[in-house]
Amino acid sequence: MNRVSEFLLHRRVQFYEVDSAGIVHFSWFFRYMEEAEHAMWRTAGLSIAMAGSDIGFPRIATSFDYHRPLRFEDEFDVRIQIATFKTKTIQYSCIVSKGAERIATGALTIACVRKGPQQTMSAIAIPDEIVSRFEVAAGASV
């Protein structure tokens, strides 16, 4: 099986994603990035939220810089890449683009945790069966 390092998601802006000015609300970019992340995990044959698992991946840092607006009916791409892969965390870089035009750039860091009683969490090493499915993307940066 090939190791996954990036994923490209193609989307169209829906009406409920825009604000009263007809521009995509900033909060949707975080959802687009997460949607691409989950699709990348599925491509690797995994789920980021496996049913019955005591392991989770909470978000510990995220950001976006906005360069151009997206509007209702615009078609666009979300490219997510693994920028760094550490023992307990994965850091992604993300580019949202419309054709050759860069719309936004973002980053996301997730941590691997074991979920305990009373909603407690403790950071753990990412299991080998997950590590073996991913690799850092060539030229990725955050």
Helix (H, G, I), strand (E, B) or coil at 71: strand
Per-residue pLDDT, 12: 98
6-131 architecture in CATH? Roll (3.10)
Per-residue pLDDT, 109: 98
Per-residue pLDDT, 52: 86
In terms of Cα–Cα distance, which of 84, 82, 80 is closest to 10?
Answer: 80
Per-residue pLDDT, 102: 98
Tokens of 140: 């990725």
Per-residue pLDDT, 56: 94
In terms of Cα–Cα distance, which of 83, 82, 89 is closest to 126?
Answer: 89
Per-residue pLDDT, 51: 85
The identity of residue 17, as a single letter, is E
HEC secondary structure over the chain: CCCECEEEEEEECCHHHECCCCEECCHHHHHHHHHHHHHHHHHCCCCCCCCCCCEECCEEEEEEEECCCCECCCEEEEEEEEEEECCCEEEEEEEEEECCEEEEEEEEEEECEEECHHHCEEECCCCHHHHCCECCCCCCCC
Please answer whether residues 51 and 86 qualify as being in contact, where contact means their C-beta atoms are separated by less than 8 angstroms.
no
Tens-level pLDDT at each residue, the chain (142 residues): 679 999 999 999 999 999 999 999 999 999 999 999 999 999 999 999 988 889 999 999 999 999 999 999 999 999 999 999 999 999 999 999 999 999 999 999 999 999 888 878 999 999 999 999 999 988 777 6
**What pTM, to 2 d.p., does this model score?**
0.93
Per-residue pLDDT, 1: 60
Q: Where are the domains of the chain?
A: 6-131
